[in-house]
Amino acid sequence: MKQFILFDNDGVLVETELWYFRANEKAMKELGVTLELEYYLELMKHGGNWWELAQDKGVTLEEVNRARERRSRYYQHYLRTENIYIEGVEEAIRELSEHYRMGIVTTSRRVDFELIHHEKKLTRYMDFILCEEDYPRAKPHPDPYLKGLELFDAHAGEAIVVEDSQRGLTAAVRAGIECAVVKNDFTASHDFSSATYRIDSLRELSALLLH
């Protein structure tokens, strides 16, 4: 019997994946390096570092660090100005909150997360938020989801993870937690063969768990 739900954030609760790529693409271009989407998606599957492309071309670490700072500013600009709303998510979260305890487990920096959720329409339903500063190793390591279980004082069999990326799915599997992968066109090329469920939207999760 499931009692707890652990949600990824980007691509599951909000549509931010594309804008994070665009911010990285723009910052890399300013270094004279082209960040191809296909290459980015391949690295994203396993948590790779695309900044090595710049260093391989002779860009110094200092220049890369400055570019990363610009990337963060570009990304935050997109978060403020682009539509990142996913239709039906708030309604599904509200319904699920009547039956389950829930938390968000994200690889986002907390500063970005708080910008995304400044209106707190979704976070008010959550017991906790785990950002990249809150655990030792990021996805695809199991640490983020193991930390979520710890905060719930729950066993893996009592929880389900909701993800949209191969990296996140791998983290859930390594933590021993069943995972429902929600459809996201940005990560459609990822391998989701180890997912327990495949759903088109969070509305389906509600139907899956409650009926």
Give the start-to-end residue ranges of the domains of the chain.
4-14+85-210, 17-81
162 beta partners: 7, 180
**198 close to 187: Cβ distance less than 8 angstroms:** no
Per CATH, domain 4-14+85-210 is 3.40.50.1000: yes
Q: What is the pLDDT of residue 211?
A: 64
Strand residue runs (E) in the chain: 4-7, 101-105, 128-130, 159-163, 178-182, 197-199
SS3 58: coil
Q: Of 81, 152, 80, nearest to 118 (Cα)?
A: 80
Q: Fill in the DSSP letter of residue 183.
A: P
d(CA 47, CA 166): 9
SS3 76: helix
C-alpha separations of 77 from 19, 23, 42, 70, 95 in Å: 10, 9, 25, 11, 32
d(CA 181, CA 160): 11
Taking the CA atoms of 91, 88, 18 and 9 in sequence, report the sign of the dihedral they define: positive
Question: What is the chain's pLDDT, residue by residue, as a tens digit (211 residues)?
Answer: 899 999 999 999 999 999 999 999 999 999 999 999 999 999 999 888 899 989 999 999 999 999 999 999 999 999 999 999 999 999 999 999 999 999 999 999 999 999 999 999 999 999 999 999 999 999 999 999 999 999 999 999 999 999 999 999 999 999 999 999 999 999 999 999 999 999 999 999 988 887 6
First to last CA, the chain: 13
Q: What is the pLDDT of residue 209?
A: 87
Q: What are the tokens at 50? A: 């695309």
C-alpha separations of 58 from 48, 53, 54, 112 in Å: 19, 9, 7, 30
Q: What are the tokens at 164? A: 């949209």
